[in-house]
């Protein structure tokens, strides 16, 4: 089995793959104050709850956009799973080309999304939307070149900043209100943030399709992918674990390459 880890600024997702199939996935808060032992205990407890033994895990792959957590997870992997993990970066064998001015600056989550997206839906241009702490829009050519994209504030980020900078505005639940015209402060904020995010997304998708081609397919991932997708017709596929899938693909590709070199 392979343990794949997707470290985001808000949440960390763990996925256990068995022969290429996702068996279990878990989500915990990304807390930089945790030690490798604290994270190890959490992971082992989750695995044990579903009957997965430490000895079942033969490798670990990590995608991290939080540098302070990367080293902690590396040490956790070495200590509890007795293996040197693979950390995703642009210098690995990816199966796609990074056509970016600074390839090393591309976030590992964006790389994983592009790799997994092309593996599943390659042959047509792709626009990959990731609704996380930031909302990212990534473009992948039909031939498998990561072209770049755009980064905007995520839903939680926008809501938190609005509440923090406007003294009279409350914290809100990030859900769609009954009507677009809010009749309370809370519903007005929900309308502006949620419908505003949908309209911004649709505008960006149309702009990117004008460059990539109208046949481009749109993939949504991230914590708010399903709720946003329910309010638009522009999203073709919802892939909640796309980053984890990318970690798996990259791990397996590089393991095979390393095995060939040894042989």
How many other CB atoms are found less than 10 A from the CB of residue 144?
Answer: 19
Whether 156 contacts 174, CB under 8 Å: yes
Active site residues: 109
Query: How far apart are the C-alpha atoms of 93 and 52, rounded to whole Å?
Result: 29
C-alpha–C-alpha distance, residues 202 and 216, integer Å: 13
**What's the number of CA atoms in the CB half-sphere (13 Å) around residue 99?**
12
Is residue 250 within 8 Å of residue 87, measured between CB atoms? no
């Amino acid at each position: 089995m392979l343990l794949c880890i997707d470290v985001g600024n808000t949440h960390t997702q763990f996925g256990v793959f068995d022969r290429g199939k996702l068996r279990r996935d878990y989500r915990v808060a990304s807390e930089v104050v945790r030690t490798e032992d604290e994270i190890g205990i959490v992971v082992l407890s989750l695995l044990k709850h579903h009957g997965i033994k430490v000895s079942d895990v033969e490798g670990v792959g990590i995608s991290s956009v939080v540098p302070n957590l990367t080293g902690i997870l590396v040490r956790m992997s070495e200590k509890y799973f007795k293996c040197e993990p693979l950390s995703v970066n642009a210098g690995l064998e990816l199966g796609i080309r990074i056509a970016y001015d600074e390839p090393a600056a591309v976030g590992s989550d964006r790389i994983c999304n592009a790799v997994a997206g092309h593996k599943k839906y390659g042959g047509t241009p792709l626009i990959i939307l990731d609704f996380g702490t930031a909302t990212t829009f990534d473009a992948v050519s039909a031939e498998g070149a990561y072209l770049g994209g755009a980064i905007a504030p995520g839903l939680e980020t926008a809501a938190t900043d609005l509440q923090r900078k406007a003294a009279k505005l409350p914290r809100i639940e990030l859900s769609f209100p009954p009507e677009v015209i809010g009749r309370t402060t809370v519903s007005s904020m929900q309308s502006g943030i949620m419908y505003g995010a949908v309209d911004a997304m649709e505008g960006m998708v149309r702009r990117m399709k004008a460059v990539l081609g109208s046949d481009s397919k749109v993939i949504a991932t991230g914590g708010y992918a399903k709720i946003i997708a329910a309010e638009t017709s522009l999203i073709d596929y919802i892939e909640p674990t796309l980053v984890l899938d990318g970690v798996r693909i990259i791990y397996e590709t590089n393991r095979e390459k390393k095995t060939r070199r040894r042989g």
